[in-house]
Structure 1
Amino acid sequence: MCQYFLSSNYLLPPEVFNRTQDFERERLVYFKDLFSNLHKALDVTQRTDFKAIYSDLEQSIAHCNIEVDLAWWSTHHGVDMPAVLPEFEEYSPELTTISNKKRSQLSETNTGVTLTGITPVISSPAQISPDKHSEPYVKKSTNGPQATLPTPFDDFSPTSDSKSFEQTAEPPRSALPVAPPTAAEVPTADELSDADYYASATYDDGRPGVPVRALYDYTSQEDDELTFVAGDIFEKLEDADDQGWCKGRKDGRAGLYPANYAGPI
């Protein structure tokens, strides 16, 4: 008579149960070997190369010198570091700040009258030599002394109402001093900023220019300026003024652009 076993509320024959036991044995052996190999891989203390690494680390920590480290830090980043004195840099016009272009057309008007000409001062009356082609318009008298031409330095009497033709001869204009213009005659920067300045900046006489290449992007801020991007090629018509602006031509239009925004090709 066959013997049966009660397992999970089912009656199993012995050979079926033994097969399940064999399968479970193989599974347990597999996991045991797997975890054993994992333990050997994680146990770094058993490897000679890892032992050398930890030994070197321990020696490095032991050889740390605190005083030497503090002295090095004070020398390079503390109170013992050498003094760094400022150095003079050579002035470069290309690094100057771009200022208002309108100042270059006329100097400041609030400083007084602008000097437009200098006339040398004559300390003594000039001797006028007659020219063979033009005789002085003076009547000659044979009965008395000849009258001399007046100069700007002669004193005229305000009481004399009428003078002879010899005394009222007008001296040459070149000998008269030139009076400087008054403040009302000097144009202001606002008067040049509209039509005159715009016309001079955008006027194109058709002459060929020097090819230049844009180094940076620039967008015009006013109507008389050029717009370009880095790499564009256009022509330079005039060199930079005292404010750092050049006159150029791009796409058939003349205008101004910053001098350090373009370079020669």
Structure 2
Amino acid sequence: MRFVPGCRKTGTFGLERRITLSNMSSLQKDTTPEDSNNQSFWMPGNYQRTVRRTEDAFQACNDIVACFQERARVERQYAQQLSEWSSKWKPVVDSSPLYGSLLRAWQCFLTSADRLSVLHASICRSLVSEDGDRVRTWQKETFHKKMFGGFRESHDFETGFARAQKPWAKRLKKLDKARIAYHKASRKEHAAQERETHARGNPDIAIEKQKKIQEEREQAREEKERVRARYEKVLEEVTRYAPRYMEEMESVFDQCQEEERKRISFLKQAFLSIHRHLDVTNNESVKAVYSELHHTLMSISEQDDLRWWKNNHGPGMPTDWPHFQEWTPPEKKQKKGKKEVVQNSPERNVMIGGIRVRALYDYVGQETDELSFKAGEEFLKTEEEDDQGWCRGMKDGGREGLYPANYVEVIQ
């Protein structure tokens, strides 16, 4: 209930006297437990719920860190399981009877799992080293523990509320005493009135006795009026002090609200950071993995695979048909130390000077003969794409290796 300055009436119970005393006093004996007014912020001691928010927020930070540390373990276990699955099936796939584009498609599932394993391992590290450390650091900077327990912030708020509420609580206590005294005097007058009524219609009671009863009733009425006047005066003092009390309490409450706003704002950003790390649907690396896998699957060609089999294991294979061969005398053995060394190197489609290319996506080499690079990085393409979709390139530092052809674009 709001108290508005300047609206108080004088005399008998005015507008402010409509404030029920059960709402004003913390010492009521006849209020029921379900009375919501007893839970009002304005009642003495009920500010403790607001003060406890500091301890609750500190504990919430601990729970958030523990929660997402457990999620990090899930991510790490998933990464390990993906890697173990790929390692288990790689020799089976490599030695399978499949061949050509169909074999490359099956192998691509395993390489995709390896790349996803790296991604989920990085998610695990982000949840622990970035998000967890960020919450812990903010928690340490925001909550200052006292030597004998509790937090300095909650102690300051507790002190502020207690200082603002102390005069109000004293007035409520005084008002409660005045109310009890008034109700007691009213009950006494009511009992005196009943005795007078009973005596007035009873001929067995002497006139002197009836007069005495009347005098007692009149004394009880005067006492009630006197106590009532004191009760009204105390109520006026309480009503008059209410605006100042509300102003001081709201001042401390606003400080609590500002601290809570900062906590909510920080935790919102922390949750958004966690969401960004967990949301693999918008991760370019994941898109690249499944895009490459889809491209490999769409590249399965019945004609190419059948042609490869025909040329390598079928009628398309070259053969040395029988023909007449002349006899040639055997060559003389050369002496030791004079043997010629002949080195045959396979032909490679080497590009003179190379072509400058730019990486479209991040790539982490899975083998020692593969290049690793970040999206946007530039280097030289030194050999054309082979039939499995790999090119050879050389980085500015002289590092040379293979990389997926569809991960780069030629710089115009």
Structure with max Cα Rg:
1
Structure (1 or 2) with the greater strand fraction = 1
- Same structural fold, with TM-score higher than 0.5 when normalized by the shorter chain: no
TM-score, scaled to structure 1: 0.30
TM-score, scaled to structure 2: 0.21
Structure (1 or 2) with the greater helix fraction = 2
